[in-house]
Amino acid sequence: MSISMNRRDFIKIAGVGAGSLAFATPLFDFSTGEILAPDTIPGMYAKRTPTYCEICFWKCAGWVHTNQEGKIWKVTGHEDDPHSNGRLCPRGTGGVGMYNDEDRLKTPLMRTEVNGVQTFREASWDEAFTYIADELKKVAEKHGPECTALFTHGSGGHYFGDLLKAFGSNNITAPSYAQCRGPREVGFFATFGEGVGSPERVDIRDTRCLVLIGSHFGENMHNGPVQEIAQATGKGATIITVDPRFSTVASKSKFWLPIKPATDMALLLAWMHVIINENLYDQAYVEKYTYGFEDLKAHVAQMTPEWAYGLTTIKPEIIRATAREMANASPRVIIHPGRHVTWYGDDTQRLRAVAMLNALLGSWGRRGGFYNPEQVSFKMYPHPPFPKPKRTWKDAYPGKFKLASLALASGICDATVPTTGRDCSFKAWIVNGTNLIHTLPNQANTLKAIQALDLLVVVDTMPMEITGYADVILPECTYLERYDDIRVSAHREPTLALRMPAAEPKYNTKPAWWIAKGLAEKMGLGHFFPWENIEEKLDWELKQVGSSLAEMKRLGVKKMKRSVDDLYPMENLEDFEFNTNTGKIELYSTSMEDEGYDPLPKYKAHEEPPAGFYRLIYGRAPMHTFSRTANNPNLTDLMDENSVWVNPKVAKEWGLKNDQYLWLENQDGVVSKTPIKVRVTERIRFDSVYMVHGFGHTDKKLTRAYGRGASDADLITRVHIDPEMGGTGMRGNFVTFRFEAGEEVSS
């Protein structure tokens, strides 16, 4: 569409000397060889450089737009990117705030003591590296290099991982496994011989019925699924939401099942009962692909909707109606596996039930169900073989967590607290981009582990609670100021995406690759990082897959063709060998049975809140990611504190008013460090309260986040460990209201 300019706007444009020329002729920057596109602010030429987002782990590709002065102006989505489809979520759009945040870590800091008081002093990078190298050497000599661990949650983690492996330890862990999606991967692997992965292989775009159990898309702002849910519902897909809270997506659903928390397994089993007993399952699919159907049929024979009603409070007719709704959409139905699924300690089994329900409805490997993702097979820059560690974290847990496929962050933390029965407790941690104080449950235990360390190095962009406990703090520059590895995540079509700096790093901050390589050189391990600089490394890797750094700088995202046309490998009942013991989809899990776990999921009653207490449920807000965005000026402007959702009946009983501040106290007498505002709302059950995770920061250096809202992590002291894979179930904590602060108020 066109519009003739009126007098006022014409002056605005002409006043800065751009005029109509700007629309016709792109300029060429001879220094960088990049095309400068005239962008959208009148009269302002802007350059755009490719990136992929680091505000959450969906890693949407986008463009960073800089103005004439080279100042970062805005970030927008990349139109060719299957993660974002050209549209970032609010966090990605507000990503520029991470760069502009004046509270950022600015220079290396080292712990020192002045007049008996511990404090941080500024240090040079060389000084910091020398100290770390010396301390790690001491740990290796005294205890072995295996007593070092890396906790990482971010793109830079790969470089620190290589550093650790070169040093002789493979204890590399991300809280995204045992504190988040681990049980899902194990439950699906036991059933289909494959995990769900990230981005999840769910074909929401073409589904006819989406079942969400505790997932609150729209508030949990994973970009792809949120976009696809809007797309699918626009085409008439229905949503069934199971949640004790009337979430945003519940309000868009045909059915909202306000389930009594901790009883989801009963609902899943009853759904399977209905689907089997009413012959609603995909008979050809089940017959061809599955193992153990008769066992399952017998197993759920008594698990009627009437049985489940007494546990879940969901009426039998609703259980039947929703089962039929799913079956009508079959195979284009998704019982979504969720993402943060570490709830009650029997999570692997619950996710097994989710996987089995999908199998009964024939949605795995089918359009509108679960697709078969593909990623570019990517070869990393060659380096000498890493030494083989003599011990791993698993040695601390003989005979336990046998199905864990990745290291457990909580497991390494627990194994850092010295005990007599263990020959190696962890002595040094490198922590990159994860605020373990808020990430791991049971803070007292985390602090105990930290006190037992000889060395704690924290690499981050922001001062966080964990940085306060560090011996050395290394300030990483933000994703807008650095190169990282090429993004090669799996999707419907494979893609490559480049992140490159859009601006020079602010302050004395450095990219992860530079920090890891510098540390390696100081530790005498430089030969494991045999490239001169990151551009040489990335260019070599890209050339192996038919691209180059120059091409990726221009494209940002490169779409590749699938190597095999098997996006929906079971669409027409094609022959397929599953990666399980039986080669079939295992409704009856032989691998679970072999390891001594239940081959068919059982309902187990979980503890209920004592009188006057409410189950603590936590979740996400669309404008924040964990605690890492809590100080971002753009995002705190949208939401700067959390509130506790309370049902009006409960509020009346306690005399609570909207916007009143109070403290929460859990079943173990632990009181939230900061007060939280009350939100009285019909949108939550009377037996639960809800709060958004990531608030309640106690570090004064976070000027916007300090003391705003409360932290659910403070209150998660009781953990139910998943026996199969070590996940930390965190939804078994109960809180009551308190009108004065606890005794230990953080300064």
Partner 1 sequence: MRYAMAVDTLKCVGCNDCVVACQTENNVPIGYCRDWIVEKTTGSYPELQLEIRSERCNHCANAPCVRTCPTEASHYAEGGIVLVEESECIGCKACITSCPYDARFIHPEGYVDKCTFCIHRVEKGQDPACVAVCPTHCMIFGDLDDPNSDISRAMATRKWKSLIPEAGTDPKVFYLI
Nearest of 54, 63, 68, 71 to residue 22 by alpha carbon: 68
Structure tokens at 188: 């699906």
Nearest distance in Å: CB 91, partner 1: 9
Q: Which residue has the tokens 């550093």?
A: 163
Give whichever of 125 and 256 is closer to partner 1, judged by the CB atom.
256
Query: What's the one-letter identity of residue 112?
Result: T
The CA distance from 637 to 704, in Å, is 9
CA dist 477 to 106, 129, 226, 462, Å?
9, 17, 29, 10
The DSSP bridge pattern shows strands 47-52 and 34-36 to be: unpaired
Nearest of 678, 662, 715 to residue 693 by alpha carbon: 715
Nearest distance in Å: CB 80, partner 1: 16
Nearest distance in Å: CB 8, partner 1: 5
Nearest distance in Å: CB 385, partner 1: 44
The CA distance from 140 to 41, in Å, is 56
Give whichever of 218 and 362 is closer to partner 1, judged by the CB atom.
218
Cis peptide before 26 (omega within 30 of 0): no
What's 119's DSSP letter? E
- By the 8 A CB rule, do 455 and 128 touch? no
In degrees, rounded to 5, the angle at the alpha carbon of residue 272 between the alpha carbons of residues 269 and 277 is 125
Strand partners, 398: none
> 177 in helix, strand or coil?
helix
- By the 8 A CB rule, do 193 and 581 touch? no
Nearest distance in Å: CB 253, partner 1: 11
Give whichever of 6 and 25 is closer to partner 1, judged by the CB atom.
6
Structure tokens at 428: 């040094």
Nearest distance in Å: CB 700, partner 1: 20
Nearest distance in Å: CB 287, partner 1: 39
Give whichever of 226 and 359 is closer to partner 1, judged by the CB atom.
226
Cα dihedral sign, 9-15-20-25: negative
- Long-range CB contacts (< 8 A, 24+ apart) of 117-126? 120/473, 123/472, 125/474, 125/508, 125/510, 125/518, 126/522
CB-neighbour burial class of residue 111 (10 A; exposed 0-12, middle 13-18, buried 19+): middle
Nearest distance in Å: CB 230, partner 1: 4
Nearest distance in Å: CB 231, partner 1: 8
- By the 8 A CB rule, do 25 and 55 touch? no
Give whichever of 74 and 606 is closer to partner 1, judged by the CB atom.
74
The DSSP bridge pattern shows strands 47-52 and 61-66 to be: antiparallel
Backbone angles phi, psi at 278, to 5 degrees: -95, 10
Give whichever of 6 and 747 is closer to partner 1, judged by the CB atom.
6
Nearest distance in Å: CB 317, partner 1: 15
The CA distance from 584 to 576, in Å, is 8
Nearest distance in Å: CB 516, partner 1: 32
Give whichever of 473 and 684 is closer to partner 1, judged by the CB atom.
684
Task: Transcribe 347-358 into DSSP letters.
Answer: HHHHHHHHHHHH
Nearest distance in Å: CB 41, partner 1: 7
Give whichever of 305 and 601 is closer to partner 1, judged by the CB atom.
305
Give whichever of 520 and 623 is closer to partner 1, judged by the CB atom.
623
Strand partners, 210: 239, 334
Give whichever of 178 and 689 is closer to partner 1, judged by the CB atom.
689
Alpha helices in 409-548 (DSSP H): 409-414, 436-439, 443-451, 512-522, 534-544
- From the centroid of its chain, how far is CA 224? 14
- In 47-155, DSSP assigns E strands to 47-52, 61-66, 72-77, 109-114, 117-122, 148-152
For 578, residues 6+ apart whose C-beta sits below 8 A from its C-beta are 192, 193, 194, 289, 584, 585, 586
Give whichever of 83 and 153 is closer to partner 1, judged by the CB atom.
83
The CA distance from 358 to 703, in Å, is 47
Alpha helices in 369-468 (DSSP H): 409-414, 436-439, 443-451
Give whichever of 60 and 149 is closer to partner 1, judged by the CB atom.
60
Nearest distance in Å: CB 210, partner 1: 14
Interacting residues with partner 1 (CB under 8 A): 1-6, 8-9, 23, 40-42, 73-77, 87-90, 93-94, 96, 217-219, 221, 223, 226-227, 229-231, 233-234, 246, 248-249, 251-252, 256, 258, 622-623, 633-635, 637-639, 647-648, 681-686
Give whichever of 374 and 687 is closer to partner 1, judged by the CB atom.
687
Nearest distance in Å: CB 44, partner 1: 10
What's 691's DSSP letter? E
The CA distance from 446 to 683, in Å, is 34
Give whichever of 251 and 283 is closer to partner 1, judged by the CB atom.
251
Nearest distance in Å: CB 689, partner 1: 14
Nearest distance in Å: CB 227, partner 1: 5
Give whichever of 157 and 244 is closer to partner 1, judged by the CB atom.
244
CB-neighbour burial class of residue 521 (10 A; exposed 0-12, middle 13-18, buried 19+): middle
Give whichever of 258 and 494 is closer to partner 1, judged by the CB atom.
258
The CA distance from 161 to 383, in Å, is 14
Give whichever of 55 and 592 is closer to partner 1, judged by the CB atom.
55
Backbone angles phi, psi at 671, to 5 degrees: -105, 140
Nearest distance in Å: CB 38, partner 1: 9
